[in-house]
Amino acid sequence: MSLQYQFPSDFWWGSAASAAQTEGSHNGTTGRTIWDEWFEKEENRFFEGVGPKETSDFYNRYKEDIKNMKEIGHNTFRMSISWARLIPGGEGEVNEEAVTFYNAVIDELLAQGIEPFVNLFHFDMPIEMQEKGGWENREVIDAYVTYAQKAFELFADRVSKWFTFNEPIVPVEGGYLYDFHYPNIVDAKKAFQVAYHTIIAHAKVVELYHQNYDGKIGIILNLTPSYPRSENPADLKAAHICDLFFNRSFLDPVVKGEFPEDLIALLKEYDHLPETAEEDSVLLKENTVDILGVNYYQPRRVKAKDHAPNTEGPFMPDWFFDNYEMPGRKMNVYRGWEIYEKGIYDIMINLKDNYGNIESFISENGMGVQDEQRFIKEGRIEDDYRIDFIKEHLKWLHRAIEEGANVKGYHLWTFMDNWSWMNAYKNRYGFFSVNLDTQERTAKKSAYWFADVSKQNGFDH
């Protein structure tokens, strides 16, 4: 008897994590990233003063963690390699200790029947590269391509799904617009240059991979549908411009090989076009992605501006729209984010209708909750709220698949509670809780539920 929500037979069930958020930057031999630097400079900006030194100690506990993944039905796991660990300083000699570690992780995943998906960059720029200007500087692109080449040489014999970047717009927003990532610059012209160079770096790595390897390479984008307050033309225009800045600025060049015309026109009008090189447009056109990872947490709701922007202040995307708080919206009060499960369906139908139905998967979706110890019963966190969150998103994902969307899998953020940048361990996301004093892992109720879902390849209601 088939289940009400039955997924394709080869569906990818798993979770995602990143090097900086799990390995611990003081474990093993590794170079320094912008996070080590920023934490030293401004510890007060990190929740309860917790930095990236230990995080979840995956570096020492990967065997236990991968065994747990197997037990709850993972057949895939998305990890990242730390550029600063593999090549301390960002360029130069490869760190053999890091090679040994990543080989061991990949081999252990494969031994447990879990396919590794490997991402090359997850917000963790080596500090030496940032001091050269980071993605503002085209030289850093070359260093990144060399790093990618080394990673492919070392691991591509066992890894056939690669990703160039996770959420590349976040360092743009955080580091160059809204001051929530290092280097804490507020300068839209630099922001657009950083975004542009990130896309060029991505395309160069895609080109390198396709020339030498047979697997699939893609990118992971946090796609956040922009919903207008109303059908009023002014609200529709606000939502369209918001979508251009925060979704299509990356989605169009990586999937279609070109930037949206109206985004180019807008940046030109306000004298904020990035500097480009003549060969870039051909590079983009010829090196589109094979696969797209989609991170979805919340919708973005916008309306026309209530007040004219202060054009004497720094240029911002927010000159063109205001955020809109829809009355009666469902909230994750801990994170301050709206929960809107249908958004996951809208994204996938948009990819189907407007982006060639590219092969895609949900590479992150999840619910961060504070003080989960409140929900402990008989030694286990009873996180029914997380089960409901996943289930309702999966129902909409199932519907998109039924309607022909080319969706291959679902990965939760994250496998075990991990360190979340400035929020540190404030909100917990994992299937497994982590005791920060002992590093002991304990399965939450959601882990057992997910094990059943992946085993049956679906659920009933």
Q: Which residues have a catalytic role annotated?
A: 364
Single out the residue of 189, 59, 55, 201 nearest to residue 125, CA to CA: 201
Single out the residue of 287, 301, 443, 288 nearest to residue 359, CA to CA: 288
Structure tokens at 181: 């990532």
CB atoms within 10 A of CB 246: 21
Residue 353 forms beta bridges with which residues? none
What does each C-alpha distance from 149 to 33, 131, 152, 213 come to in angstroms? 20, 22, 5, 11
Q: Where are the alpha helices (DSSP H) in 42-137?
A: 58-71, 83-86, 96-111, 127-131
Q: How far apart are CA 447 and CA 461, in angstroms?
A: 18
116 three-state secondary structure: strand
Q: Are the beta carbons of 73 and 451 closer than 8 angstroms?
A: yes
Q: How far apart are CA 177 and CA 314, in angstroms?
A: 9
Q: How far apart are CA 260 and CA 359, in angstroms?
A: 21
